[in-house]
Structure 1
Amino acid sequence: MDTVRAPDTETGEPSEAPAPPALPATASFERKVRSAARWSLINTVVLRLGNFATGIVLARFALGPAEWGVYGVAQTVLLVLLSANELGVSLAIVRWEGDPRRFAPTVLTLSTLSSALLYVALFATAPTVAGLLGSPDATGVLRVMCLCVLIGGVAAVPGQFLTREFAQGKRMIIDGLNFVVSTSVTLLLAFAGWGAMSFAWGAVAGNTVTLIGCCLAAPGTLKYGWDPGQARKLLRFGLPLAGASLLALAVANVNTMVVGATLGSVALGFYVLAFNVSGWPVRIISEAARRVSFAGFSRLADSPQALAQGFSRALGVVITGTVPLCVLLAGLAEPSVRLIYGSQWTPAAAALPWLMALGLIRIACELAYDCMVATGQRRLLLLVQGLWLAALVPALFLGARLNGIVGVSQAQVLVAGGLVVPVFLYALSRGGIGVRSIGRACAWPFLGGAVMAAIILGLERPLGDGPLALLAVGTIALAGYVLCVLPSRDFLRGVGSDAPPRPDQQDMR
């Protein structure tokens, strides 16, 4: 485990101990985490439903596959830049013990400077980047949309103060305002004929609202300062995390780059829509969990037993919530896409089942990622992400050549399930989280998912694919899933045994 030098409470300088903020009393800590997780889940569900509705309106009435392809390129570049724009140093506000206001000014200076340098580099190279990704028309969209890199660099510090304090109620209000403003701007410009540029200005407007909201919710945190000693220690802490985050974002977005470069903007538009649909359950569950998981794991990092129990329970919760959504979208892909977006988008449905399987794998890997960061396994995390990317790139090009966007999706599942998951399991076992506890956390949801798939396959053909038939099939499948996961309810609530009963064991309660 790599040493994390945390700031001393008296001087603000990092001390020798790699300790996270002190572990509070168990009952009060669990209440705080549960409250934050509840607010985060509500926040994410509401926003994702809103984004879902907005996407339907834009796809049906304003934008075609080519415009979605340009947006996909710009969004990919933005996400990659955001993964490294503040060099990972803002996480020290959550992870280090002591008063973070002592070193926050140095964090803010580093974050702002690095974000500004990244944006200048992107502005200069935007035509080249857009051309390499197969969308020369994306140059202007890139230059506008990536202004969010600058805004995000400034907002990182007040935002991390809210994360440290589990202030997800305040974040819900801020994110809600972001959604209202960004969606309004995007819709107005899209229907005025601005095409993909409407997404760019909508994102800039929304992120500006987030910056203002975070500053108001965490007053006094937006102060610049510079301490060379703190800066060196922050960079030693943050750069490995930024590298791992950059690799993780590259893994998540290199697929879009490959599709755009090899198959063209129209195929990219279909793929982006399918990928966004597959992200619904992942984003709803994963984003809600990750806003709490890193801070929670950081508090438990000094107790291997508590960390193992906390991770297995968190994994059980996110997998239980994600499996039914993934199975429904995979099993009913074509009729769902046709019903929601219209017949012009049905080519996207072919990739959706594979992307749903990928989403389920990715949500577990993201939780493992947060756990490894919290326990200081930064170098191992870099190796895992580097291995994933190195194996994925050639597989994606081969898949695209052999089977288009479906082949790209299949390649990702093959690499993630066959190579990356075993490596993550090994890494977690080094931190005291055994394969057996992970398997027990996932057993009942996976059984329920298999039952759901059997119900969908058995009922879809005789009932048809009309709206009422889809509703009936989905309802029956969900009912079967709920019956399968009921034996794990005490485990998910944190009641009784630390491990859920397995499917091969009778529920004796």
Structure 2
Amino acid sequence: MSDQQAQAVVTDDLPSIGRRAGRGLRWTLTGNLVLKVGSFALSLAMVRLLAPHDFGLYAVALAANAFLIHVNDVGLIAATVQWRGDVDEMAATARTMAITFSVGWYALFWVGAPILADAAGSPDAAPLIRLLTLVIVLDGVTAVSVGVIQRRFQQDKLMKAIAVGFVCCAVVNLTLAVAGAGAYSFVIGSLVQAVVVAILVLRAARMPFRLGLDRAVARRLLVFGIPLAAGLGVESVVLYSDSVIVGHVLGTVALGFYLLAFNISSWVPGMVGAAVRYVSIPAFSRLAEGESETFTLGVQRALPMLLTFVAPVAAVMVTLSPALIHVLYGEHWVPAAEALRFLAFVMVARMFTALVFDIQTGLGNTKVTVGLNLVWLVALLPALWIGAHHGIRGAAIGHALVALTVAIPLAGWLLHRAGVHMGPVVRRLVRPVVAAVAAGATMAAVAHEVGSPFAQLVLGGGLGMVVYALVALPRDQRAPARRWVSSFLAARRGAQA
């Protein structure tokens, strides 16, 4: 079936979008879960093989790469997903543009790597920046193929390619770390993964690898893609500017602790957020082609559903972060908990705003993401600078305050301006927020009474999740949680007797 035929079918049968998006989401959630479990296991090994200084150097290179991976293709992946019409008519032009821009960005960062490394207080990171950012060239080569796969809701193919790449990356990471390669273990492993994924994605997309330039098509792509890329570029600066400021103010070792906390706070955005993004842009793009009421209803359901999932995870990070890090990474890394408590709130804001960006992209409103992220960044930089002078905890507090008081309210207002009535959304958000507060208070009380970090996680975390379920879930879904609490209290009374 051609893209034009598929588009006609989707327009005539909007419920099919939900089924196709649901299948894609199941694949990406499952794939991301497996990958995150593997990544977590790999990180447990790497923190025992490498020092905080190595993590600090890698954090600088990762910040540079995170910016480039958002802007290098000028929004052409999303433009391919959102393209109205037959994708074959734009593929050659889009691929040529993606490769050209990627190579240009790489050349710029090759020259600027020493400057960025010095600004972050880690001059030794310059070679790592130059090596890791090679990934963006491969990303430019595969941009159109990735967009086509997402457009077809064939996320299973994409996740399989990423999984194979991760296995190769893990083998290289561990081998080089044992050999004493330090931060280069991360960088070379990431490059190997990028090469493997690129080969598999190009094969899976089954798109002729043609180059060309149609000026009319290029103009359409740039009108859509440049604001999106600019918005995502500013977003990456928002998320990784703390690495540069913390490294500059506090040094590489403190940055290593901060990076660990940031990585933990990124578990949910990396697993669930990435999975949602694979299907949300194509789903909302197709819904936007139908009636506005259908689109609005989809938004009003999606945002509360997202927060209901994220809120209990944030509660665990806020209240049990010392125990979490102690059990998983060892006592040596516990100082990272001071930052993790507050980066949990940043995690919630990241998930919320990312979904809002996807909704706006589905509507074709890519320019609003630039404005939101610019306002967020302008408020964030002074907050980070002031906070970092009080340690990694201060930097995380500054990040969290701006995320909660600037980013989330502004994202909601932009949705309101786009025609989405936010009243039902706000009402549906009350229950998960109250449930998270109750769960956090429960976990804090248990942690205060229990000395063992492992027991704090098991008892406090388990009881907190039950409390969350009792408050957050509808009445007809609370029975299992009630039975668990009753048996838990009975067992406690029996033990005391």
Matches within 5 A, 1:14-93: 23-60=11-48, 62-93=49-80
Matches within 5 A, 1:47-446: 47-60=35-48, 62-302=49-289, 303-401=291-389, 403-446=390-433
Paired with 1:425 and 1:315, the residues of 2 have a C-alpha distance of: 10
The 8 Å contact of residues 78 and 281 in structure 2, kept in 1 or not, is answered as no
**Residue type of the alignment partner of 1:440:** R
Count how many residue pairs are aligned between Structure 1 and Structure 2. Answer: 473
Aligned residue in 1 for 2:473? 486
**Residue type of the alignment partner of 1:82:** I
The 8 Å contact of residues 77 and 146 in structure 2, kept in 1 or not, is answered as no
The 8 Å contact of residues 368 and 424 in structure 1, kept in 2 or not, is answered as yes
The 8 Å contact of residues 9 and 98 in structure 1, kept in 2 or not, is answered as yes
Paired with 1:288 and 1:326, the residues of 2 have a C-alpha distance of: 19
Partner SS for 2:474: helix
Paired with 2:305 and 2:194, the residues of 1 have a C-alpha distance of: 30
Compute the displacement of 1:333 (Å): 0.7
Paired with 1:488 and 1:433, the residues of 2 have a C-alpha distance of: 28
The 8 Å contact of residues 324 and 453 in structure 2, kept in 1 or not, is answered as no
Compute the displacement of 1:277 (Å): 0.8
Paired with 2:324 and 2:12, the residues of 1 have a C-alpha distance of: 46
Paired with 1:21 and 1:404, the residues of 2 have a C-alpha distance of: 56
Paired with 1:105 and 1:489, the residues of 2 have a C-alpha distance of: 54
**Residue type of the alignment partner of 1:164:** R
Range with greater deviation from structure 2 (469-478 or 237-246):
469-478
Partner SS for 2:391: helix
The 8 Å contact of residues 185 and 201 in structure 1, kept in 2 or not, is answered as yes
Compared CA separation, residues 9 and 283, structure 1 to 2 (3 A): closer
The 8 Å contact of residues 71 and 138 in structure 1, kept in 2 or not, is answered as yes
Instruction: Using structure 1 for the length normalisation, give the TM-score.
Output: 0.89
CA RMSD of aligned residues (A): 1.9
Aligned residue in 2 for 1:14? none
For 1:109-149, what per-residue CA distance to the aligned partner results, in whole angstroms no more than 9, with x for missing partners? Answer: 00001101111121122222211111111111111111101
The 8 Å contact of residues 130 and 139 in structure 1, kept in 2 or not, is answered as yes
The 8 Å contact of residues 326 and 453 in structure 2, kept in 1 or not, is answered as no
The 8 Å contact of residues 334 and 346 in structure 1, kept in 2 or not, is answered as yes
**Residue type of the alignment partner of 1:149:** I
Compared CA separation, residues 24 and 43, structure 1 to 2 (3 A): farther
Paired with 2:173 and 2:260, the residues of 1 have a C-alpha distance of: 17
Compute the displacement of 1:9 (Å): 6.1
Higher helix content, 1 or 2 = 2
Compute the displacement of 1:30 (Å): 1.5
For 1:64-116, what per-residue CA distance to the aligned partner results, in whole angstroms no more than 9, with x for missing partners? Answer: 11000001000110010111101113322111121101111100000001101
Structure 1 segments of 4 or more deviating over 4 A?
19-22
Partner SS for 2:84: coil
Partner SS for 2:266: helix
Compute the displacement of 1:233 (Å): 2.3
The 8 Å contact of residues 40 and 288 in structure 1, kept in 2 or not, is answered as yes
The 8 Å contact of residues 57 and 183 in structure 2, kept in 1 or not, is answered as yes
**Residue type of the alignment partner of 1:450:** V
Q: Which runs of 5+ in 1 are unaligned?
A: 1-7, 11-18, 491-509
**Residue type of the alignment partner of 1:209:** V
Compute the displacement of 1:20 (Å): 11
Paired with 2:19 and 2:4, the residues of 1 have a C-alpha distance of: 26
Partner SS for 1:23: helix
Paired with 2:406 and 2:88, the residues of 1 have a C-alpha distance of: 42
Compared CA separation, residues 489 and 280, structure 1 to 2 (3 A): farther
1:477 to 452, 459, 464: 464
Q: Which runs of 5+ in 2 are unaligned?
A: 478-497
Paired with 1:339 and 1:9, the residues of 2 have a C-alpha distance of: 53
Compared CA separation, residues 77 and 98, structure 1 to 2 (3 A): same
The 8 Å contact of residues 20 and 298 in structure 1, kept in 2 or not, is answered as no
**Residue type of the alignment partner of 1:193:** G
Partner SS for 1:382: helix
Range with greater deviation from structure 2 (184-193 or 278-287):
278-287
Paired with 1:21 and 1:279, the residues of 2 have a C-alpha distance of: 37
Partner SS for 1:53: helix
Compute the displacement of 1:54 (Å): 0.8
